[in-house]
Structure 1
Amino acid sequence: MSQWPEFTTGERVKMLRGKRTQEDVANASGVSLHTLRKLEQGGNVSLPTLLRIAEGLHTDVSVILGQQAPRRGMSPNDRAMLRDLSRAVHDTAAGILFDPSEDAAPGPADLAEAASRLWRVYWRGAYTDAGVLAAPFLRSVALYAKHAPAGQEAAVSALLSDAYRACGLIANFLGARDLAYAAIGHAMRYSELAADPVRVSMLGSARARVLLRDNRVEQALHEAEAAAARYEPTFSEQGSGLLAAYGKNITFAAVAASRLGDSARAADLMSQSHAVAARLGRDVYSNGMQFGPAYAAAQAVGVNVALGNAGRALEIAGRFDPTGLTQAAHNRMMLDVALAQCDARQWDTSVDTLLEVCSAHPEWSRHQAIPGIIIQKAGQASTSRLRKLSQILGTSPTVRLA
């Protein structure tokens, strides 16, 4: 029996469509019936079109490309981690806790150390490892909340918000959409209880990230812009945390606008993002959030790729200093660079860039959609390079995108 990556893109779309008619899926996707028929018959389509079809099929573009099987083609370790993460999120929210003696409950110093370690692993892009840490961290925070002395309600709520947000971001990255929505919802509730504007603002970009991954792009744009407007810092406010959270929301709004093809809106939002980053003067790392000049520049590369400005994206990347980026953010930017090179018909250069990232970080790369897109588009690149990439990613290059 053929494995999912061995089918053509058109065959996978047809199987995902199931009993729905081509007309139904075309209407849901906002593409013409002719375009969908062409794809199912083995024709080429553009990346924006493929993204719209993925939305109409209620799936990830990585599934359509064969990079992941339906319902998340994950390793046994990924699945085991997600099961435990799901139990931790739902059990703690329901008040189901393993309750040792009060003396065994973790203290603030223990939790601070655990949180720091979790975010370091997360920033490396080792999301499965981060999930292994996140589940016990959330349980420990819940135990601490149960035994915390009076007067610590705001601090406890802040910790719970951070723990649930970490779980939500990890679940979102691995495609566990329902768990991501639930965890981010719990995080938002506790950030409101903590009355902490920084954490509330940070959750705007977190929720926008989940919506983007779910192809709900217009809602992601609205969420990010609303979160930015709710807590826009004044010039009298010097706290870097709120300014960074505001900048990240503006940046995510720009990303969403670029996915919608709104170049004017995306350019205006990115201009604001760069202004906020310049005001900060450095990249800020706080509770799992990064924002600053390096982060804004990296996102500008991706925004220009999405808008079809490959030359501009490569120009930004060519004068970019990545030293301020986390490993995960740097990896993601290099995927955008590879896609821009591919769009500029620099086939072998694109695949070389992709090989560098995927060879160094194979587990991270397997959960990204862009490598599969490049493999499908770069049909004129060296066959040996494409074969090596396919082995790393577990894909089979079958149909090129237009």
Structure 2
Amino acid sequence: MRSTLGAQLSALRRRRAMSQRDLAERAGVSVDLVRKLEQGQRHATRIASLTALANALDVSPADLLGKPRGLPAGRVSGEVGAIRRAVLGVRRTNVEPPTMDAQRAAAAEVWRLYWAGRYAELARELPDHIAGARAAVDAAATHGRPAAWAVLAELLQVTASLLAHLAHEDLAHLALAEALRAAEASGDELLHAGQQATRSWVLSRQGLWSEAEYVAVTAAEQVRPALARASVDQVAVWGELLRYGTTAVARSGRHSEAQEMLGLVRAAAARMGGDHRSRYVGMAFGPTVAAMKAVDVAIAADRPRQAIKLAERVEHPESAPTAMHARYLLNVAWAQMTDWRSQDAVDTLRTVEALAAEMLPHQTIARTIVAELLPRRRKQRLPGLVGLAERIGVAAA
């Protein structure tokens, strides 16, 4: 049986009337790689090659991997449609404007759900919160309107992040456009910059590395602080923008530049004096996040053993938000899979499942790792793999 990647690659290539050689030349990869992927002899490839193939076919990497859109059947009913209407600003009648305290509590709660990976619950709550925030903006007196705009901006930022995870990237960009408009109306420069960090992340998920880099680096330059006297929030926003910029540069294959930018992320993290939460990034920023990013950069450079060694130096990764901890462990599993530590990769994936079962099926990297590991059962037992594959929707050969 061909892998999802191989089947998608073949179908998309044929739909565009391209030969394997045409696709390889356009993507800048070998014909042998295209052939092996389509024939199921390989089930994964380097992220840079995957992105190049997706760009050559004019699709996103998630589309190429057959990532499911939306939430699992039976978990929700019409939530994405309700979110779409909320993002588009379709006004509800008779919405009572919540108090500012209630709005701030709502913003904190949706961030908590997002970082806990509880997507179904988050999808249910967001439309009502957005409707309430819009009503609050309309009802606010002039002096209270900036604060109301700020809450609406945060809610739309979380909405965009959720939509990207659910493979609704275009709707995510629309939510971010609304979030940026609300942030600008609030007059809060750091809030506006934080929205740009999320925008860079969504672009990276689509494999649009140069655009993601431009957004992150430009915004970072605009808010670059004097580290000696900067506030925690200023350093956190600057560091987050650089972190996303590092991702884009590393995925573009410019590894020396990625290391230079990673050095700036580490400098920002060191200035924090520990992991400290900032409302502008929705989580804690500090040395733990910087150490996790170093693992990601090593993986982008196709250095799995270095990534595994760096992972061993990450202190207290469990202190990070659940979703970030899970995503970091998926990077570790990728390195283990690439280095042929197959059972270690399975064990790490099962740890992620125990940590954040709801978010795992939405992670393209998890599905790719499992697809690559399944054929290895011919030579290795790999207990626990088949059940995991079934639970996240990857067909076992």
Given the two structures, how large is their TM-score scaled by the length of structure 1?
0.89
- Which among 3, 8, 28 is matched to residue 12 of structure 1? 8
Match of 2:362 in 1: 367
Q: 1:360 to 1:153 in 2, by over 3 A?
A: closer
Contact 1:375–1:397, Cα closer than 8 Å, also in 2: no
Aligned partner of residue 152 in structure 1, secondary structure: helix
Aligned partner of residue 277 in structure 2, secondary structure: strand
Query: Partner amino acid for 1:13?
Result: L
- Write the distance in 2 (CA, Å) between the matches of 1:390 and 1:278: 40
1:232 Cα offset (Å): 0.3
Aligned partner of residue 15 in structure 2, secondary structure: coil
Aligned partner of residue 125 in structure 1, secondary structure: coil
After superposition, residues 194-209 of structure 1 pair within 5 angstroms as 194-209=186-201
After superposition, residues 181-200 of structure 1 pair within 5 angstroms as 181-200=173-192
Please tell me whether residue 306 in structure 1 is matched to residue 300 in structure 2. yes
Q: 1:8 to 1:188 in 2, by over 3 A?
A: closer
Match of 1:213 in 2: 205
Q: 1:236 to 1:350 in 2, by over 3 A?
A: closer
Aligned length: 386
Contact 1:22–1:37, Cα closer than 8 Å, also in 2: no
Please tell me whether residue 376 in structure 1 is matched to residue 350 in structure 2. no
Contact 2:71–2:120, Cα closer than 8 Å, also in 1: no
- Which among 130, 133, 136 is matched to residue 138 of structure 1? 130
Q: 1:231 to 1:181 in 2, by over 3 A?
A: same
How big is each residue's C-alpha offset from its partner over 1:267-321, in whole Å with a ceiling of 9 and x where there is no partner? 1111110110010112232332442111111122122112112222212221222
Please list every run of 5 or more consecutive structure 1 residues that lacks an aligned counterpart in the other structure.
Answer: none
Match of 1:83 in 2: 81
Please tell me whether residue 111 in structure 1 is matched to residue 103 in structure 2. yes
| Larger RCO (CA under 8 A, 6+ residues apart) | 1
Query: Partner amino acid for 1:284?
Result: H
Q: Identity of counterpart residues, as a percentage?
A: 27
Query: Partner amino acid for 2:211?
Result: Q
After superposition, residues 214-293 of structure 1 pair within 5 angstroms as 214-235=206-227, 237-287=229-279, 288-293=282-287
- Write the distance in 1 (CA, Å) between the matches of 2:111 and 2:264: 27
- Write the distance in 2 (CA, Å) between the matches of 1:236 and 1:106: 39
Contact 1:201–1:242, Cα closer than 8 Å, also in 2: no
Contact 1:254–1:269, Cα closer than 8 Å, also in 2: yes
1:169 Cα offset (Å): 1.0
Aligned partner of residue 285 in structure 1, secondary structure: strand
Please list every run of 5 or more consecutive structure 2 residues that lacks an aligned counterpart in the other structure.
Answer: none
Match of 2:384 in 1: 385
Given the two structures, how large is their TM-score scaled by the length of structure 2?
0.90
Query: Partner amino acid for 1:347?
Result: S
User: RMSD of the TM alignment (CA)?
Assistant: 2.3
Contact 2:2–2:40, Cα closer than 8 Å, also in 1: no
Contact 1:202–1:289, Cα closer than 8 Å, also in 2: no
Contact 1:142–1:160, Cα closer than 8 Å, also in 2: yes
Query: Partner amino acid for 1:223?
Result: V
Which has the larger displacement, 201-210 or 357-366? 357-366
- Write the distance in 1 (CA, Å) between the matches of 2:113 and 2:306: 32
- Write the distance in 1 (CA, Å) between the matches of 2:383 and 2:318: 32
How big is each residue's C-alpha offset from its partner over 1:317-362, in whole Å with a ceiling of 9 and x where there is no partner? 2122224300111001111111111122111111111122124422
